[in-house]
Structure formats: structure tokens, C-alpha cells
A and B are shown apart, each in its own frame.
Chain A
Amino acid sequence: MTQAAESIVEVKEAVKRFPAPEGGVVTALDSISLKVQQGQFVTLLGPSGCGKTTLLRTISGFEDLDSGAVLIGGESVLGVPPYRRPVNTVFQNYALFPHLSVSGNVVYGLEVAGIKKTERDHRLKEALERVGLSGFERRKPAQLSGGQQQRVALARAIINQPKLLLLDEPLSALDRNLRQSMQLELKSLQHDLGICFLFVTHDQEEALTMSDQVVVLNQGRIEQIGPPDLLYHKPATRFVAEFIGDSAIFSGRIQNTEASPVLVTEDGLGIPVGRGPKPGDHATLIIRPENLSLAPPNPDDSVSILDAVLEQSVFRGATHQYVCVLPNGTSISATPTGADDEAFSRVSPGDSVQLAFRRNIPHLIIESQ
């Protein structure tokens, strides 16, 4: 089977501009191209105003594109109104009908489609069981908690068996604990149903927890598409590295010394990096806190050393976070584990430390030559 046949949604060169309130235009979608495969959990991740909700709304049909195309199941949906599109949405504020009961809300889509009552009842029961709301049929939305309303919104969407379920920051109104349990539930629901979920969020943790594929958006452009671990370990751009996870980021120019290439930042900090970049390259080095530890007594070529001063250590439950300051004043965090954590915990704040990272682990983005 070819890739095109499998993709449930395809966005081609989508461009959307809005008039800005202060005059001029805002480009919400700047030539976005995207393919979503059957049965995947795909997350659109980005800061507010990056165009992720606009992209979702062009798929659900509430926004038109200025140029480009949206294909659902291989067919262009240009000019097709939302109510004729085989997708359903879970809205950010849930948008439950306040005058209808839970069952009235959930069977809404089946009623307007003219599905027979016996089948409606059957599917209602199934959908409510799936989201764990059996017994709540006759309640009004106002009589439900936020988490329960969330479940009604989910049931109302999945009962229609859409080809694609769109979720617009559905967890943002829930408190932290509930949000985390809903993340896992959503993930298993998606797995059970086997339909594609397209999930919009600005929360990187949410994106990493649930997704098969994450699409990182910034200022209307796609920064990177990939599975969560790829985004975390091999961010394609500085933006992705900054947005996903904690990291210390150094940008500079590569200079060759006798031993290995060294990244020299604008303020003169030199960091030895592994092989790969050529002298004169602009490069960005991303060091995750968990990749840093104290330097061993006799370091070999495989590790790079950074001189620093320990500023403070913060208890983080399973580990400590050691906040250090580099000679150029940049602060950098280390969260070593096991024996490395123990060794680090013997250092007192104010002491000089040698931070080490394995050269093959940190990620180097080579931006230009």
C-alpha cells in the first residue's frame, strides 16, 4: 500500500492569513504540509498563536484556507461545510448543549443523521461505557464536574465513528492530577478505537506522553515532525530544543583545535564537541540536564569538560537538580542519577566543579556552513 492511500488527512501547502487587530496581517498558517496516517495519535504542539488551532479548524471546516488544500480520506474538502465532513471535534470548552441531558448530548450526532432509536440507544450505551459515564444519562451538563463534562464531550464525538477525531486543548481546563489520568485514558481510548486522533496542545509534557507523532509548530510553520523521543533527543531546530524539555543551549561557530572541533560562543566560551562539524560552521549545542555529571578523575577523549561553580542544589524527589554557573555567567542544570547523583551531592554550593558530558550524546544542530 502506498503512503497516500493510508493517510487519513493530508494538508498541502496550507496558507491562512488573518487581519491583525492592530492593522496588517497575521500569517497563521505559512505553507503547512502535513500527512496524518491511519490509526495514529498525532499532536500539534506549539506556543499560543503558532497556528495549531487554526490548522485544526481548517480540517474541521470552520476556517477556509487562502491557498493550499485539505484532503480527508484522499478527497479534497475545499468548500465542504463542517456538517458534511467525516470528522468530529472535542472542543476546548467542551461546548456541551446546556439544555440537553448527557444522553441528549451524546446522541445528538446520531439524531441529526436520522439513525434509528434502537441503534441510537445501543451506541449510546456503548459510548457511555467507554468513557465511564454509565448511569449519568439523565444529568444535565451543569450538574457534572469538569472531568465528567470532558467525558461527555468525548462520547459525543466518538459515537459518530469519525474517521478522525480532532481535540482542541481538551485537557487545559482540568486540574493536574485529572489531566494526567485523562492523558493515559485518551491514549488507550485511541488505541482501542483505532481511529486517528489529532490533538492540539501547548503542553509539551502532554504531547510527549500521548503521541505517536508530534508536529511542532511555530509562527505558522512546521519546525519538526517526529515521534516524541526523536524530538527530545534530536531536535531539528533550536526552537524545538527550547520548547521540549529542559536544556542548556549554546550557539556559536566551530573552530578546529588539534584534538577535536570546539564550539566557540559569542562570549568566548569554548566547548569541545564530537566529530562531525566542519570549521566555520554555525552550530547549536543542546545539553540535557540528565546528560551532565561530575567529571571522572582521568577523563578521556569521549567526554567534554565544562568548568563551573555550583550555585545551589534543589531536591526534586527522585533526583537533585544542581544549578551551576559557567564562567560566562550562563546557568546550566544537571540532574545526574545513581552514583553520579551521590558524588554530586557531596559538593557544597560555591565550590568549583567540572561538569562532564559524553560527546556522542548531546545533540548538535549545524545551521549553516
Chain B
Amino acid sequence: MASKRDTRRLIALLTPGTLFLGIFFLGPLAVMVIFSFLTPGLYGGVEWNFYHWNYGRILGWADGDWEEFDPVYAQIFFRSVRLAFTNVLITLLICYPAALWVSGLSVRWRTFVVFIITLPFFVSLVVRLFCWVLILRPSGFLNTTLLGLGVISEPIDIIFTETAVLIGMAYILLPFMFLPLYASIEKLDYSLLEASSDLGANPFQTFLRVTLPSTLPGIAAGAVLVFIPSLGNFIVPDLLGGAKVLMIGNLVEQQFLSARNWPFGSALSVMIMLVMFLAIVIYLRRIGRSEIVR
């Protein structure tokens, strides 16, 4: 039972954070949700009339016109979800073996490797992505190397494709998958693997039946941490995807900055948030709970 003094201390400690989030996060969020139900103004801004066709437009029916079905925005939306999901798989497949390997190193090497993995954060994201532009463009490092080696006879089109976007996103989000995975693999009780082997499971069975389930919380945390920034990302598709690979993040950016259609941009943002919210709910219900039981 918390005493009165404890309660007062709790309030004192929580107040700054609550106030900050209340003013600078919940406030703008409320504004955004309200805007998403307003009519876009002719020259930007909003008119204060209730208007739900911002959402209709996302689904393919713009401005209350049932006849004209054009799911271009829905397509962009689903492409974004698909790319974000693919990115989760890519980073998982890269990071899981790496994290397994690192957790087997000596403490000194482990610390060093984890430091190396966080090192890219010290350099601006835009600079790092520009390096990928230099690497992937037709006369870039990749193509000149492959041409020089005689692997290909003509430059391959890789920049401004989904592949380039996936490479870029996987690159910037790898640490977000690696760190939670590593934390959970490092915690893995080695005696469980011995017990499994003792009970007759070969290394592959042990991996499937013990290692993987035991590290599921790490996988889930990494998946959420990669999925959410992937879905809302607009810098990577902007730089590496060009005009061809538009993602939902770019669309929001365009609506706010170029098209000046704030209500539609708000509606798109709300949709993104709903999808992310769904992802987190699934995470909490499926995996988060089992972690609490432990």
C-alpha cells in the first residue's frame, strides 16, 4: 500500500513528463484527429465543416463520388505496409544469426561489437542515405565494380526501385532489430540448450523448440521497432525510391507541404497510427504477456 507521502512523491515525479507529453504530444494529436474530419480549404488551411470524405479518399472514393473508384492511395498504403513488413523480415534474417554469433563472443568483444553497431547513429541519417545514392546509382560504386569485374555488361537499374528502398530502410533500421534481439539472446539460459540436447534434440530441433521461442520477446520487440519507423518513413523512399516508389510517409509529407491539404494529410496520419496501434496491440497480447509471466 502506497502511503500518502509516496503518492505525493509519485505525482511530483510524474508531473513534468505528463505535462510535456500532454501539451506537446496529445494536444497536436487531438488537433490532427479533428483536422482529419474537416473540409480542406481552397487555398490550404481548413474550413470548419464536418467532412468524412478524407477517409473515403484513402479507400478510393474521393469527395463523395461513389461512381469514381480510384484506389491509388489505398495501393500506396498497402505497398507501405508490405515494404515495412518485408523490411522486418530482412532485418530479422540478418540480425538473428549476427546476434547469436555476438552473444557467443567474450564480454570485451561483445561490448565492442555493440558499440560498432550503434556507431552509425553518430552520423546524420541524410548523409548516410546519400552514400547509398552514390553506391546504387547507374554510375555508382556497385555498378562500376560489377562492370569492372565483368559480372554484368550493362549497369543495372537498382536505384529508384523498391529494392533500393528496402536496402536503405534495412540499413538504417538494422540496429533497432539487432539490439533487442541481442538483449534477449544474451539472456538465453545456456543450460536450457544443454537440457534440450540431453533429451535427444539435435541442434536444429533445439533451435526451433528452445532458442527461437525463448527469444520471441526480442524478436517481437525488434519487429515493432523496425515496423513502425519503416511504415512512416519518407526520407528513404524520397532519396532512394525517387518518384516511382511512393510510400505513405511521402504522401503525408506532400499533403502537408506541397498540396497544402491538411485534412487529407491528417486522415492519412491517423490511418498510419491505427495500423501501428494494431501492431502494438498484437505484440502486447501475444508476446508481452508471456514475458510478464516469466
Neighbour of B195 across the interface among A84, A91, A113, A160, CB < 8 A: A91
- A109 to B199, Cβ gap below 8 A? yes
Q: Flag whether B254 is at the interface (Cβ < 8 A).
A: no
Is A47 an interface position by the 8 A CB rule?
no
Kindly specify which of B107-115, B141-149, B152-160, B202-210 makes contact with the partner chain. B202-210
Residues 257-284 of chain B, each 1 if its beta carbon lies under 8 Å from chain A, else 0: 0000000000000000000000000000
Size band of the interface chain B makes with A? 20 to 34
B214 contacts across to A, CB distance below 8 A: 97-99
> Who on chain A is nearest to B190 by CB?
A95
Q: How far is the CB of B93 from chain A (nearest CB, A)?
A: 22
Q: Which residues of A contact B197 (CB under 8 A)?
A: 61-62, 81-83
Determine how close the nearest CB of chain B comes to the CB of A167; give it in whole angstroms. 12
Q: Separation in Å of the B208 CB from the closest CB of chain A? A: 10
A163 within 8 A of B: no
**Interface size, A (range):** 20 to 34
Contact residues of A between 315 and 353, Cβ < 8 Å to B: none
Closest A-chain residue to B198, C-beta based? A89
When the two chains form their complex, are residues A95 and B191 in contact, meaning their CB atoms are under 8 A apart? yes
Nearest CB of A to B203, in Å: 8
- Taking the complex as formed, is B294 at the interface, i.e. its CB lies under 8 A from any CB of chain A? yes
> Which A residue's beta carbon lies closest to that of B193?
A95
Partner of B201, one of A83, A95, A140, A142: A83
CB <8 Å contact, A109 and B200: yes
B213 contact from A82, A89, A99, A156, Cβ within 8 A: A99
In A93-138, the 8 Å CB interface with B consists of 93, 95-99, 108-109, 111-113
Contact across chains for A112 and B200 when beta carbons are under 8 A apart: yes
Please determine whether A88 and B210 come into contact, CB atoms closer than 8 angstroms: no
| Given A99-B290, A112-B201, also A82-B194 (CB < 8 A) | yes
- Cα-based distance from A156 to B210 in the complex (angstroms): 15
User: Does A60 have its Cβ within 8 Å of any Cβ on chain B?
Assistant: yes
Partner of A88, one of B192, B198, B209, B290: B198
Residues of A within 8 A of B192 (CB): 95, 97-98
Minimum C-beta distance from A319 to chain B (A): 43
Q: Report how far A140 CA is from B191 CA in the complex, Å.
A: 18
Contact present for A60 and B210 (CB under 8 Å): no
B189 CB within 8 Å of chain A: yes
Out of B194, B210, B293, which one reaches A140, CB within 8 Å?
B293
**C-alpha spacing A95/B197, complex, angstroms:** 12
- For B189, B200, B201, the residue with the greatest tally of chain A CB atoms inside 10 Å of its CB is B200
A108 touches B194 (CB 8 A): no
User: Considering the complex, which residues of chain B in the window 106-164 have a beta carbon less than 8 Å from any beta carbon of chain A?
Assistant: none
Q: Is B86 an interface residue (CB 8 A)?
A: no
Given A97-B210, A108-B196, A108-B209, check contact A91 B191 (CB 8 Å): yes
Instruction: Assess the B293–A83 pair: CB atoms within 8 A.
Output: no
Given A109-B200, A112-B199, are A62 and B194 also a contact pair (CB < 8 Å)?
Answer: yes
* Cα–Cα distance between A62 and B197 once the two chains are bound (Å): 9
Chain A residue contacts of B210, Cβ below 8 A: 97
Task: Report chain B residues within 8 Å CB of A87.
Answer: 198
Instruction: Name which residue of chain A comes closest to B290, CB basis.
Output: A99
**Interface pair B294/A83, CB less than 8 Å apart:** no
Contact present for B194 and A91 (CB under 8 Å): yes
Q: B93-111: which have CB < 8 Å to A?
A: none
A113 to B200, CA, bound (A): 7
Top 5 nearest A-B pairs (CB, nearest first) are A95-B195, A109-B199, A95-B191, A112-B201, A82-B197
Query: Chain A: residues with CB nearer than 8 A to chain B?
Result: 60-62, 81-84, 87-89, 91, 93, 95-99, 108-109, 111-113, 140, 142, 156-157, 160
Given contact pairs A97-B192, A140-B293, A156-B199, enumerate 17 new A-B contacts (beta carbons under 8 Å). Answer: A62-B194, A81-B202, A83-B196, A83-B197, A83-B198, A91-B195, A91-B198, A95-B189, A95-B195, A99-B213, A99-B214, A108-B196, A112-B196, A112-B201, A112-B205, A112-B209, A113-B200
Q: List 8 A-B contacts (CB under 8 A).
A: A83-B199, A83-B201, A95-B195, A108-B196, A109-B199, A111-B209, A140-B293, A157-B199
